[in-house]
């Protein structure tokens, strides 16, 4: 058995993923265990989980595969400082402290963590890790590849091809042909506007996408002065509008403020929604404009990938591939029949991509694995649940009969209660897909405001997604999209069919939904719950949002679940077959 | 070497040459980095990806 451990860390979203003979065994982000949102430190807890899950110990690993080339990144960091010196002096101090303190010694740190000699630690280029995280998880034997993020070493986007035959089909190859280079970056452009709109970089990008639905893209023309977009999707940022070369705190410059003619929104300022007015309407228009610009760029890049590869299959990865509206437009407009995006499309997914690249491209081993669900995190046993309940002094009702459990929870949802649903292994990627979820009745349009205010404590404009039984999803959205994997992972935003909107009103956002179709095979207990709700209401869907509070990672353990339950307005918690109610 | 390395003057000379090497190394890295951004920073369109064959030896390198 060959064991390859993939690791990403030192920027944001540190993670580990473990392969045994090319098959994924376990994958998790460090933040779930450390309870520190976006934890970037070396993922010792996630590594420990992966090893334990596989029944291995340090020393049993054959290779550790890291998701980037650190010294290429250092080269870019030094070059950026040199170019913007002396303005970059403060950035330089902080950055060099990081490099000298930990980043330079990553080979030794990983070799120690995995208990193997340093020459067994491999370094895969950042965008090759991204590309592998999609292509080597996809159902395709060949595909075009498009990766887009903030920045890897020097690269900010790539187009290429992947030959990834499954069992018996020969070796795999991932060939990235063209790249965009720092500082010309779609991800950094989007993040700069995320910050302008008062949200946290690397966390608030979803909020920009959510806010965009409330605005009109009337700043779109102005943004042509911020970025030049070539017909082939390559871009050139007008750098005088950005500060990320020389500042720790600011991604945009006063020139961007002058151009837009409005001050940046204060972080955490309250929003006037659902009908933004005054300055909030302007911010919604800016969000709408940058969202449209991003979609246009991504579609143009995907067309280039299509011309380059002459394939009808596209694999996308990188943080920008989490933009579900752009993903739908890629499928509609870029000349592809099939689109695959893995549930962890961002930097965390690079851990898995690095492991897969080492296994199939570097070591040349044949490929058999295909990712069909997102449940690769830790699972907790009855004893863990019992211990958490005892420690909290909570009495739970236990319902072992699956149908009775589903019926009981479905009735609570019908009665307007908000239910936290904790089952099996937690999800790989930023989305809760029915194993660490907060659920509510999607029919009630007021439920969106209720969950945002009572449970999530977040901005009232933030949308929620529906989980819909796969057999019925075609009643809500155009069925032709439903063969696409991103619809299983909430990675594609689709228009809701006329006549279906009222049935899932709390999850419709600007006439669209970020759908998760639920296959009964992938999550049996969750599918049973949806069926029970369908039986009671005629609607085969529930509102599904991640089981966490604002600013916290999604819960991992039963103890995390109880803590979150106790600090929020959630009415009921279901831990496996244990039901705890606040009534 | 071992018989003289303990003398203060020799230790000073060693320290100076050590720091000198470090300084020269840093300058070389910075100059290389400087050239890199000069050539890369003005790329306004897709560039061909430059990389060596993805072999085990190449994957062991941090650069």
Quote ipTM for the complex: 0.89
With beta carbons less than 8 A apart as the criterion, state whether A75 and B63 touch: yes
Chain A touched by B61 (CB under 8 Å): yes
Report the Cα–Cα distance between both ends of chain B, in Å, rounded: 35
Residue A186 makes CB contacts below 8 A (sequence gap 6+) with A148, A156, A157, A235, A294, A297, A298, A320
* pLDDT confidence of residue A226: 96
- Is pTM beyond 0.90? Reply is yes
The Cα–Cα gap between A291 and A510 comes to: 14
B2 or A451: which leads in pLDDT = A451
- Which residue among B49, B60, B61 places its CB closest to the CB of A178? B49
Q: Which of A410-419, A561-570, B22-31 has the lowest mean pLDDT?
A: B22-31
pLDDT band at B27 (very low <50, low <70, confident <90, very high): low
Chain B residue with Cα closest to A77: B33
The Cα–Cα gap between A133 and A130 comes to: 5
Q: Could you give the 3-state DSSP secondary structure of residue A135?
A: helix
> What digits encode the pLDDT tens for the residues A59-91?
999 999 999 999 999 999 999 888 888 888 888
Give one word for A416, left, alpha or beta, with left for phi > 0 and alpha for psi -120 to 50.
Answer: left
In the predicted model, what is the mean pLDDT of residues A365-372? 94
For residue A158, list chain B residues with Cβ-Cβ distance below 8 A: 49
Q: Could you give the 3-state DSSP secondary structure of residue B8?
A: helix
A247 or A316: which leads in pLDDT = A316
% of chain A residues with pLDDT over 90: 85
Q: Could you give the 3-state DSSP secondary structure of residue B21?
A: helix
In the predicted model, what is the mean pLDDT of residues A311-339? 97
For residue B33, list chain A residues with Cβ-Cβ distance below 8 A: 75-76, 78-79, 82
> What digits encode the pLDDT tens for the residues A239-258?
999 988 877 678 999 999 99
* pLDDT confidence of residue A35: 98
Does the pLDDT value for residue A449 go beyond 90? no
For residue B28, list chain A residues with Cβ-Cβ distance below 8 A: none
* pLDDT confidence of residue B41: 43
Chain A touched by B59 (CB under 8 Å): yes
Chain A touched by B63 (CB under 8 Å): yes
With beta carbons less than 8 A apart as the criterion, state whether A518 and A467 touch: yes
Average pLDDT over chain B reads 64
* pLDDT confidence of residue A462: 84
* pLDDT confidence of residue B35: 45
Closest Cα of chain A to B52: distance in Å? 11
Chain A residue with Cα closest to B43: A181
% of chain A residues with pLDDT over 70: 98
B positions 17-46 inside 8 Å of A (CB): 29-30, 32-34, 36-37, 40-41, 43-46
Chain B touched by A357 (CB under 8 Å): yes
With beta carbons less than 8 A apart as the criterion, state whether A140 and A164 touch: yes
Does the pLDDT value for residue A306 go beyond 50? yes
For residue A76, list chain B residues with Cβ-Cβ distance below 8 A: 33, 36-37
The secondary structure of A289-342 as a DSSP string is: HHHHHHHHHHHHHHHHHHHHH--SEEEEESGGGG-HHHHHHHHHHSS-SEEEE-
Does the pLDDT value for residue A442 go beyond 80? yes
For residue B61, list chain A residues with Cβ-Cβ distance below 8 A: 69, 123
Chain B touched by A160 (CB under 8 Å): yes
The Cα–Cα gap between A8 and A28 comes to: 11
Chain B residue with Cα closest to A185: B44
* pLDDT confidence of residue B11: 59
Average pLDDT over chain A reads 94
> What count of CB pairs under 8 Å joins A to B?
97
B30 with A78: Cβ contact below 8 A? yes
């Amino acid at each position: 058995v060959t064991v390859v451990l993939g690791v990403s860390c030192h920027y944001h979203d540190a993670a580990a993923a473990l392969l045994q003979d090319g098959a994924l065994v376990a994958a998790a982000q460090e933040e779930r265990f450390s309870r520190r949102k976006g934890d970037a430190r070396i993922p010792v807890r996630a590594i420990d989980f992966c090893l334990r899950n596989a029944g291995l110990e340090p020393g049993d690993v054959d290779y550790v595969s890291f998701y980037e080339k650190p010294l290429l990144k250092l080269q870019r960091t030094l070059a950026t400082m040199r170019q913007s010196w002396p303005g970059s002096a403060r950035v330089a101090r902080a950055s060099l402290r990081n490099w000298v303190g930990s980043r330079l010694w990553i080979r030794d740190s990983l070799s120690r963590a995995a208990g193997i000699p340093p020459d067994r630690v491999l370094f895969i280029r950042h965008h090759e890790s991204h590309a592998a995280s999609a292509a080597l998880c996809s159902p395709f034997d060949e595909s075009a590849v498009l990766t887009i993020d903030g920045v890897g070493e020097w690269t900010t986007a790539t187009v290429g091809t992947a030959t990834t035959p499954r069992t018996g089909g020969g070796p795999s190859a991932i060939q990235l042909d063209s790249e965009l280079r720092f500082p010309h970056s779609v991800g950094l452009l989007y993040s700069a506007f995320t910050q302008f709109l008062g949200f946290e970089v690397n966390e608030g990008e979803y909020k920009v996408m959510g806010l965009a639905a409330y605005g009109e893209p009337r700043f779109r023309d102005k943004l042509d002065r911020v970025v030049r977009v070539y017909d082939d999707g390559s871009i050139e940022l007008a750098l005088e509008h950005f500060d990320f070369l020389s500042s720790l705190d600011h991604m945009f410059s006063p020139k961007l403020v002058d151009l837009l003619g409005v001050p940046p929104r204060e972080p955490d300022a309250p929003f006037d929604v659902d009908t933004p007015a005054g300055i909030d309407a302007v911010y919604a228009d800016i969000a709408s404009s940058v969202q449209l610009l991003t979609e246009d760029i991504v579609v143009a890049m995907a067309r280039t990938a299509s011309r380059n590869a002459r394939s009808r299959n596209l694999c996308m990865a990188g943080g920008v591939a989490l933009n579900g509206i752009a993903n739908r437009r890629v499928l509609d407009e870029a000349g592809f029949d099939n689109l695959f995006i893995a549930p962890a499309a961002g930097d965390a997914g690079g851990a898995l991509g690095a492991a897969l690249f080492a296994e199939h491209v570097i070591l040349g081993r044949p490929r058999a694995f295909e990712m069909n669900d997102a449940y690769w995190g830790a699972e907790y046993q009855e004893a863990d649940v019992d211990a958490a309940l005892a420690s909290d002094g909570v009495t739970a009702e236990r319902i072992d009969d699956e149908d009775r459990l589903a019926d009981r929870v479905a009735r609570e949802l019908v009665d307007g209660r908000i239910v936290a649903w904790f089952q099996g292994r937690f999800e790989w990627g930023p989305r809760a897909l029915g194993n660490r979820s907060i659920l509510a009745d999607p029919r009630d349009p007021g439920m969106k405001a209720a969950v945002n205010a009572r449970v999530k404590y977040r901005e009232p404009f933030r949308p929620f997604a529906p989980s819909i039984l796969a057999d019925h999803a075609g009643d809500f959205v155009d069925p032709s999209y439903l063969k696409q994997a991103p619809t299983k992972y909430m990675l594609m935003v689709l228009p809701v069919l006329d006549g279906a909107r009222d049935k899932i009103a709390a999850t419709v956002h600007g006439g669209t939904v970020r759908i998760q179709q639920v296959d009964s095979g992938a999550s049996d207990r969750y599918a049973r719950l949806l069926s029970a709700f369908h039986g009671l209401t005629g609607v085969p869907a529930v509102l599904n949002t991640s089981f966490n509070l604002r600013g916290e990672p999604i819960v991992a353990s039963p103890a995390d679940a109880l803590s979150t339950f106790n600090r929020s307005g959630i009415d009921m918690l279901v831990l496996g077959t244990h039901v705890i109610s606040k009534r | 070497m071992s018989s003289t390395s303990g003398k203060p003057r020799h230790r000073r000379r060693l320290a100076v040459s050590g720091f000198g090497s470090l300084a020269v190394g840093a300058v070389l890295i910075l100059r290389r980095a400087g050239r890199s951004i000069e050539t890369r920073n003005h790329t306004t369109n897709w560039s061909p990806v430059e990389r060596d064959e993805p072999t085990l030896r190449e994957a062991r390198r941090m650069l």
